[in-house]
Structure 1
Amino acid sequence: METLLDIIIIIVCIAALWQGAELVVNSATRIARKIGMSDLVIGLTVVAIGTSAPEFAVTVVAALEGQSDISVGNVVGSNIFNLGFILGGLALLKGIATTKTMVYRDGGMLIGTTILLIIFLYDLSLSRIESAVLLIILVAYVGFLIYRRAESEEHIPEGEFNWLDIPKFIVGIAIIVTAGHFFVEAASDLARLIGLSEWVIGVTIVAIGTSAPEIATSLVALLRGQSGMSAGNLVGSDLFNLLGVLGLAGILNPMVVNPAAQSSIFLLGGMVLLVVIMMRSGWRLSRWEGGVLILITLGRWILDFTR
């Protein structure tokens, strides 16, 4: 009975995180327009952070509650899921055209960031100084993009400002934080009840759940024939997860993770490198390459659950 209740709570929280993120992105976008922010800045900050809001909420809550395995596992797992399952699935359904900017600038940044995280977590801990470095890199990167007037590939919601957007934004934040708390509690209980480690739960179930906005964004982009934009969004989301989410969580509470984390972190590094190579080869992600990414992700899940 407890297991069923935890599963129900997790499902409800996933839906709440998704809806909360939608509220935050839509209302914050209109508020930002009202105070004079450009679509570029909105896309690089408000929308990008909004779609990563579930990861922020779950990772920060888990870090503050001393559940570092769920905290780091969520970010690593979400990134693997984004690149392996979502991006791979998009490519499998319809080959994705890539650009030099996406490959060299964003892909190169993602490779460098992932390597840095591997170095930081080599001793199975993330200190406040290391976390601050991650956050500083994110701020510098966003600042660089704005300075260069780089075009944001984030979809900017339409609509005019309404005074109700302010309470909607506050309600959205409250939903995300509350759902994040109960999500972490239920996932931890489930891990203990069925004998799985918190790391495995974090890197699989929690990671999939917090990737809900990315799944929605990618499907919408695919249906609109904007699969390239979707790929750019996923790469950008991974950068925000590694630099912003982990950076903030580690500053609030330094983390120590399970030794099992190393293999997943190395897998993430290998997958990031493979994805960038695939995007560079022929300047597109083909269907068979998408299939390979999905198989790698499924193989990893099987190893995690049978370990």
Structure 2
Amino acid sequence: MGSFTSPVLLVLFVASAAVIWYAGIKLSDTTDVLAERLHMGSALGGLVLLAIATNLPEIAITVSAALAGQLDIAVGNILGGIAIQTVVLAILDAAGVRPRAPLTRLAASLQLVLEGALVVVILAVVVMGTQLSPDLHAARLAPASVAIAVLWVIGLVLLNRAGRGLPWREGGDAPDSQPEPRGHSRGKKEKAATDRGVGSRRAVLVFAAAALATLVAGVVIERSGEQLFARQGLSGVLFGATVLAAATSLPEVSTGLTSTRLGDYQLAVSDIFGGNAFLPVLFLLATLISGKPVLPAAHDTDIYLTALGIILTVIYMTGLVFRPRRQYARMGIDSITAVVVYLVGIAGLATIAT
């Protein structure tokens, strides 16, 4: 795409973002319908099927970058994506909560705290993996990427068990939180699809078409955006961690707004944490494709972004425990803190990247 003019690249970038947004809505709806019809638990449905579906742009970019040998774009997009997807919760807090109250007050649940802890543990292993020798690998596998995938699976098993009930009052849900059980929006979507005569076969076809569109748009948005913003003087690290990560987070925004509009606040937070826990699993995919460990080649900026993701996750875990009552600028104090920390963090990233 280097031969395209900047206006053409801008059109491709914006068009790809629009495709990702629209396809993200279709992926969310069909994923919820299929999860209900396949009788998946709320934890498995949210943390596996929807996590993979909403992260298809990141999957496409990771595969494309690994095939091209541009591992810095892949790593920056994965780790930068975690930070900005966590900030998506602030968008949901400001735009999606009805009645007017902080998102973490209505969504408070011990299960969500456990999901946030899984994100923190996986990101800690990411940091550890960056310190290992690049020669420590065999059969196109690296210990850190394998450990991340194993921890993710173990975490899913534990969260699925927690989803069936915790030995705490009200099963781990806080009093005065959302009135309906977590995942009720999926049942409503499935009922609406049934009333419209949407069968499982049609849902699968729509899911496949939306997934394909998202994958193609993910590659186009990465290639066009890299060329366009490089001409504006934006480094590959900053582009991957900010503009590209924001564009590929559009499915999470659309999915989250749909859940909060239906009053399923716990599911909205779970989808963000679930996607963030899944993203580092893509390091295993990148390692298999490139044939060499990805994490030992991480830059200081990548480790910095990992730490930023941990801090932002802990901020919302704290909000789920303390359940703030008051709002400022239509957001809870945890969301305001997360936005400020993210902006300060990106400013710090700019000093490292330059």
TM category (shorter chain) comes to 0.7 to 0.9
- Partner of residue 82 from structure 2, selected from 79, 86, 90: 79
Task: Call closer, same or farther: CA 1:110–1:170 in 2, change over 3 Å.
Answer: closer
Q: Aligned residue for 1:112?
A: 121
Give the Cα–Cα distance (whole angstroms) in 1 for the partners of residues 67 and 317 of structure 2.
34
Task: Call closer, same or farther: CA 1:263–1:124 in 2, change over 3 Å.
Answer: farther
1:124-147 deviations in Å (ceiling 9; x for gaps): 979732222222222232233345
Give the Cα–Cα distance (whole angstroms) in 1 for the partners of residues 289 and 164 of structure 2.
31
Are the aligned partners of 1:21 and 1:54 in contact in 2 as well (CA < 8 Å)?
A: no
Question: Which one-letter code corresponds to 1:235 in the other structure?
Answer: F
TM-score by length of 1: 0.84
- Partner of residue 151 from structure 2, selected from 137, 152, 156: 137
1:81-104 deviations in Å (ceiling 9; x for gaps): 122x3223444564122222222x
Task: Call closer, same or farther: CA 1:23–1:246 in 2, change over 3 Å.
Answer: farther
Please report how far the alpha carbon of residue 285 of structure 1 lies from its aligned counterpart in structure 2 after TM superposition. Answer: 9.2
Question: Which one-letter code corresponds to 1:183 in the other structure?
Answer: I
The yes-or-no answer on 1:262 pairing with 2:306 is: no
Are the aligned partners of 1:28 and 1:169 in contact in 2 as well (CA < 8 Å)?
A: yes
SS at match of 2:201: coil
Q: Aligned residue for 2:288?
A: 251
Q: Which moved more, 1:5-14 or 1:196-205?
A: 5-14
1:9-67 deviations in Å (ceiling 9; x for gaps): 12111222233344444445555666x44354434422232122222222232222222
- Partner of residue 272 from structure 1, selected from 287, 301, 313: 313
- Partner of residue 20 from structure 2, selected from 8, 17, 31: 17
Are the aligned partners of 2:119 and 2:276 in contact in 1 as well (CA < 8 Å)?
A: yes
Task: Call closer, same or farther: CA 1:291–1:9 in 2, change over 3 Å.
Answer: same
Give the Cα–Cα distance (whole angstroms) in 2 for the partners of residues 270 and 122 of structure 1.
20
Task: Call closer, same or farther: CA 1:271–1:170 in 2, change over 3 Å.
Answer: closer
Question: Which one-letter code corresponds to 2:109 in the other structure?
Answer: T
Q: Which moved more, 1:48-57 or 1:18-27?
A: 18-27
1:95-116 deviations in Å (ceiling 9; x for gaps): 122222222x212212211111
Give the Cα–Cα distance (whole angstroms) in 2 for the partners of residues 78 and 237 of structure 1.
10
SS at match of 1:72: helix
SS at match of 1:260: helix
Are the aligned partners of 1:102 and 1:232 in contact in 2 as well (CA < 8 Å)?
A: yes
RMSD after superposition: 3.1
SS at match of 1:38: coil
Question: Which one-letter code corresponds to 1:134 in the other structure?
Answer: I
Q: Name stretches of at least 5 consecutive residues in structure 2 with no aligned partner.
A: 96-100, 166-180
The yes-or-no answer on 1:99 pairing with 2:120 is: no
Question: Which one-letter code corresponds to 1:298 in the other structure?
Answer: L
The yes-or-no answer on 1:237 pairing with 2:272 is: no
Are the aligned partners of 2:62 and 2:286 in contact in 1 as well (CA < 8 Å)?
A: yes
Are the aligned partners of 1:27 and 1:166 in contact in 2 as well (CA < 8 Å)?
A: yes
Q: Aligned residue for 1:201?
A: 239
- Partner of residue 221 from structure 1, selected from 246, 259, 267: 259
Q: Name stretches of at least 5 consecutive residues in structure 1 with no aligned partner.
A: none
The yes-or-no answer on 1:290 pairing with 2:335 is: yes
TM-score by length of 2: 0.74
Please report how far the alpha carbon of residue 212 of structure 1 lies from its aligned counterpart in structure 2 after TM superposition. Answer: 0.6
Count of aligned pairs between the two proteins? 303
- Partner of residue 177 from structure 1, selected from 215, 228, 234: 215
Question: Which one-letter code corresponds to 1:59 in the other structure?
Answer: T
Sequence identity percentage: 19
Please report how far the alpha carbon of residue 235 of structure 1 lies from its aligned counterpart in structure 2 after TM superposition. Answer: 1.5
Give the Cα–Cα distance (whole angstroms) in 2 for the partners of residues 92 and 165 of structure 1.
31
